[in-house]
Amino acid sequence: MQRTVATSLEERWDWADHGACTALPDLFYNAEDESKGVRRRKEEAAKRICGRCPVVEQCRHHAMANRELYGVWGGLSENERHRLAGRQRTG
Ligand code: SF4
């Protein structure tokens, strides 16, 4: 069986249209002036939404494969993705 490879940018991002966060992008990214407490509460809220998202696996795979640096993706925070990838945060 031959595997189909997505070739266009549109095909590669198809899953994102089905994400549970499409109407809440601000919750998934931190602003520089936010306190650690606010960041942590936003991350926890975002991860709860990821927990009921139908495309969580595709999102996580995308984030890890493309080394997305910022925000919550696929139920993982920035720090969690860095740890999984064996990287150190530099900023
Ligand atoms: S897994 Fe989380 S970040 Fe990814 S599309 Fe779903 S809700 Fe959004």
Tens digits of per-residue pLDDT, 36-82?
999 999 999 999 999 999 999 999 999 999 999 999 999 999 999 99
Is ligand 1 within 6 A of the CB of residue 27? no
* Ligand 1, atom nearest to 54 Cα: 6
Q: Binning pLDDT at 50, 70 and 90, where does residue 12 land?
A: confident
Q: Binning pLDDT at 50, 70 and 90, where does residue 13 land?
A: confident
Is ligand 1 within 6 A of the CB of residue 63? no
Q: What is the pLDDT of residue 25?
A: 83
What does the alpha-carbon distance between residue 78 and residue 30 come to, in Å, rounded to a whole number? 10
Tell me what the mean pLDDT of segment 7-14 comes to: 75
Q: For residue 89, give every residue at least 6 positions away whose Cβ sits within 8 Å of its Cβ, in sequence order, or none.
A: 78, 79, 82
